[in-house]
Each structure stands twice: as C-alpha cells, then as structure tokens.
Amino acid sequence: MNSTELIIDQENTGYRYSIEPFLLADFITLLPDQSVLDIGTGCGIIPILLVHRQPSLKVTAIEIQECSQAQKNIHQNGMEKQISLIQGDFLEEAESLKPECFDHIVSNPPYRKIQTGRINPDSGKAVARHELSLNMGSLLDKSAPLLKKGGQISLAYPPERLGELMRELECRSLYPNRACFVHGNYQAPAKIVLVSALKGKKADFSVAPPLAVYNEDGTYSQEMAKVYASFNYIDRPNRIGKE
C-alpha cells in the first residue's frame, strides 16, 4: 500500500464529493499499466485514488465544468505523468478519443433524472446531480466504443435505477458481472449500488456482501474505515449520495 498521504482539496462552494469516489475506487480491480477513463472527474478525486493504488496507470479524466481544482490536486500529488485532464463535454470529447483504447471506464455520474427531485439552483451542483448534460443512455452510448474488448466499466447509481442500468448495459453488449450495495447502516435501505460490466464478455454475475458505511452509533464501520485507510486519506467525507 502506498504510504504517501493524499491531498485532495475542493472548492468551498459548488458540488463537493462525498463517499462514492472512495467506494468506486475500492470496488475496481486494476492491473499495472492499464489505461483508464474517468468521466466527470470533478476535482480529480477518482484518478488520484486509483493512481495512489496503482502508480503505473495511465488515466484520462474528463470534466465539463471548470477544472482548475482538479489540475491543482493532480499537481500537488505529483501525478501529472499518470493523469491527463480534459476540460470539455464528454459527449463531444469522446469523438476524438481512439476507439477501444481503454481497459477500464469509471464514472460517478449525475444520476437523478431531470423530472425527479428539486434541481439545485447552484449550477455546479445541478450538473453533478441531475442528468442535465449527461444521462445514462448517452453515457453508455459514448463509453462502449472506447472500451477494449473484455474491458470493464464501473458505475455508481441509486438502487432504484439498477434494473434500468442492467438493461441499458446489456443492450450495448456490456454484460454486468459484479455489484455491491452500499447502506448507511445495516438497518437502512441501500443508498448506492456499484456495478461493473464487461464489454462483449458474458460472465457469472456476483453480488458482493453489502457494505455499511456507519455503525449504529454513527462511527465508521470496520469496512468503511478500511477503505479510507487503504488510500491513506485523513479528511474523510461523511455524506452518502448526491443530496
């Protein structure tokens, strides 16, 4: 495990990351020298976590909103050689990326449909939470051609969209192979489901044991504390989901 302490700053206003990036980065299995695409990188947190775990990765990170914070975080963690940052709309930028060039695609996408819930008046939060600029279908339409055959895509969505996600993946020959449900605590319903799928390769589908973020007394569960410790990250967010 890399013992370097990570520094991942974020803006005081606008959308702020919560627990999902840590869960996604822990959920993914990567090999040395693989190529990764992170869609909607925000402040660059997922690429930084992945490179911390596997320093030989080559990660392309795309963000539609202003990217100075991501650039700063990449720089202060000394990861400029491993992480390439693109500021732009993924739906447009995908056209200039080489087909079948990524081993893994990851995204913690905006996962609220436009007609569900109040759209935040803060534009940054609104774009991060609601499917204003990127919905599930368009995300997968543009992602599938960029994956190598046998490559993997990993996503985080609310459990109520799991059926829709499974259908949308399979109709693009992205076959779900693994899922994990994340709960606030073991007495609460799941708030997030993590799903991975393989391109053009059907495999047995497995569901990992459920992960609870908190104990009943509000302290971090042993499993969540282990996730944070594995990234050597001290400033631990305590929110689940894009509220």
Mean pLDDT for the chain overall: 87
Q: What is the pLDDT of residues 69-93, one digit of tens each?
A: 999 999 999 999 999 999 999 999 9
Neighbour-count burial of 134, counting CB atoms closer than 10 A to its CB (0-12 exposed, 13-18 middle, 19+ buried): buried
According to the model, what pLDDT value does residue 158 have?
93
Q: In this predicted structure, what is the pLDDT of residue 176?
A: 97
Q: What is the pLDDT of residues 202-235, one digit of tens each?
A: 989 999 999 999 999 989 999 999 999 898 876 6
Model confidence at 9: pLDDT above 70: yes
CATH fold for the domain made of 20-230: Rossmann fold (3.40.50)
Mean pLDDT of 179-206: 95
Digit-coded pLDDT (tens) for 20-57: 999 999 999 999 999 999 999 999 999 999 999 999 99
pLDDT band at 146 (very low <50, low <70, confident <90, very high): very high
Whole-structure pTM value: 0.87
Domain boundaries, the chain: 20-230
Query: What amino acid is encoded at 116 in this protein?
Result: T
Q: Report the percentage of the chain scoring pLDDT > 90.
A: 72
Spatial distance between the Cα atoms of 129 and 113, rounded to a whole number of angstroms: 9
Q: Which of 6-10, 11-15, 95-99, 163-167 bottoms out in mean pLDDT, i.e. has the lowest? A: 11-15
- Please indicate whether residue 130 or residue 36 has the higher confidence score (pLDDT): 36
